[in-house]
Amino acid sequence: MGHNLLSNKKGIIFGALNEKSLAWKVAEKAVQEGAQIVLTNSPVALRMGDIAQLGERLNAPVIAADATSVEDLERLFTEAQTLFGSQIDFVLHSIGMSPNVRKGRSYDNLDYALMGKTFDVSAISFHKMLQVAKKQDAIAEGGSIVALSYIAAQRTFVGYGDMADAKSLLESITRNFGCLYGQEKGVRINTVSQSPTMTTAGSGVGGFDLFYHFADKISPLGNASAEECADYCVMMFSDYTRKVTMQNLFHDGGFSTTGMSVNAMQQYAKSFDVKEQ
Ligand SMILES: NC(=O)c1ccc[n+]([C@@H]2O[C@H](COP(=O)([O-])OP(=O)(O)OC[C@H]3O[C@@H](n4cnc5c(N)ncnc54)[C@H](O)[C@@H]3O)[C@@H](O)[C@H]2O)c1
């Protein structure tokens, strides 16, 4: 049951690959809340993933676009506005990929050509879509744009490799573009920094299961699920967050501000046979 938080709103959702994807859950929730959406992903993801089924179920057109290609993005924003017959109210950037992480290259043995690819796909694509949208005046006054980030932008996490630097860049683009777009067009731009979540991209990080369980133990509220992430994104797209912009918003059950929790302490004591005083 929705609450019509997004009634009459039109949005583009980048990055739904399969039913585990964070973008998949956001797409479902946005439509449940009354939005009309266009789904997009790279041509290869359209061939390999299940996005066509999602599009059919949600009555959402699917448009192929490589988010690193300015030409593809220009076509996407033009076609989406034609389909909607109006400007766009919200956009989700849910895109991440590091060829260095995929190839198991450690942070002190990076391939720089691959690092450039990591940045282009995972962060610069956000700048490209914002620049294309602004040049086309594609986003309606008061529109809301959200990208998904991870706390590795602020703290080190073993195995996250150059994705950590990509997330820092993503959050920096959010601040810098948010300042311009807010002032000129009233458009807000934020990142939601999500808990570890079992998705295709997430599970690609070495030791992800441990990451996931560690965060779950530390966080007083436990890890935030993909469905809960979708709830938060919908709230960010809604009119209830009209003055929130240029923020990195932690959606992580309290992980980011916890030093040690009772759960984690008990786990640690068990693992190392330490007697609690
Ligand atoms: N899963 C987690 O633990 C977690 C935690 C915090 C943040 N995030 C972020 O959430 C976002 C979505 O990831 P996910 O976990 O849902 O995994 P996912 O694998 O389902 O989504 C990643 C998406 O990026 C798309 N993509 C890759 N290259 C692209 C390109 N050139 N053009 C267009 N799309 C491209 C993929 O096709 C895929 O749909 C990513 O930014 C990820 O870093 C994930």
Does residue 123 carry a pLDDT above 70?
yes
Does residue 275 carry a pLDDT above 90?
no
Does residue 277 carry a pLDDT above 70?
no
| pLDDT tens-place string over residues 204-235 | 777 888 889 999 999 999 999 999 999 999 99
Ligand 1 closest atom vs CA 45: 37
The residue ranking higher by pLDDT, 4 or 277, is 4
Does residue 196 carry a pLDDT above 70?
yes
Which of 70, 4, 1 has the alpha carbon at shortest distance from 34? 4
**Would you state the pLDDT for residue 36?**
98
Indicate which residue's Cα is closest to atom 1 of ligand 1.
202
**Would you state the pLDDT for residue 264?**
83
From CA 1, how far away is CA 72, in angstroms rounded?
35
Q: Check: CB of residue 58 under 8 Å from CB of residue 31.
A: yes
In the chain, the largest separation of any two C-alpha atoms, in whole Å, equals 67
Cα-based distances in Å from 35 to 6, 12, 84: 5, 10, 11
Residue 195: alpha-carbon gap to chain centroid? 11
Least confident of 69-73, 109-113, 205-209: 205-209
User: For all residues of the chain together, what is the average pLDDT?
Assistant: 95
| 3-class secondary structure, 56 | helix
Does residue 256 carry a pLDDT above 90?
yes
**Would you state the pLDDT for residue 195?**
98
Quick one: average pLDDT of 29-43? Answer: 98
Ligand 1 pocket, residues with Cβ under 6 angstroms: 15, 17, 21-23, 41-42, 45, 66-68, 94-97, 121, 148-150, 194, 196-197, 199-202
Q: Map out the domains of the chain with their CATH numbers.
A: 10-272 (3.40.50.720)
Does residue 1 carry a pLDDT above 90?
no
Q: Is 184 left (phi over 0), alpha (psi -120 to 50) or beta?
A: alpha
Ligand 1 closest atom vs CA 23: 16
Q: How far is ligand 1, taken at its centre, from the CA of residue 200, in Å?
A: 8
From CA 36, how far away is CA 10, in angstroms rounded?
5
Q: How far is ligand 1, taken at its centre, from the CA of residue 21, in Å?
A: 7
**Would you state the pLDDT for residue 276?**
59
Q: How far is ligand 1, taken at its centre, from the CA of residue 7, in Å?
A: 26
Q: How far is ligand 1, taken at its centre, from the CA of residue 262, in Å?
A: 32
Quick one: average pLDDT of 24-40? Answer: 98
Ligand 1 closest atom vs CA 195: 5
Ligand 1 closest atom vs CA 121: 31
| pLDDT tens-place string over residues 176-190 | 999 999 999 999 999
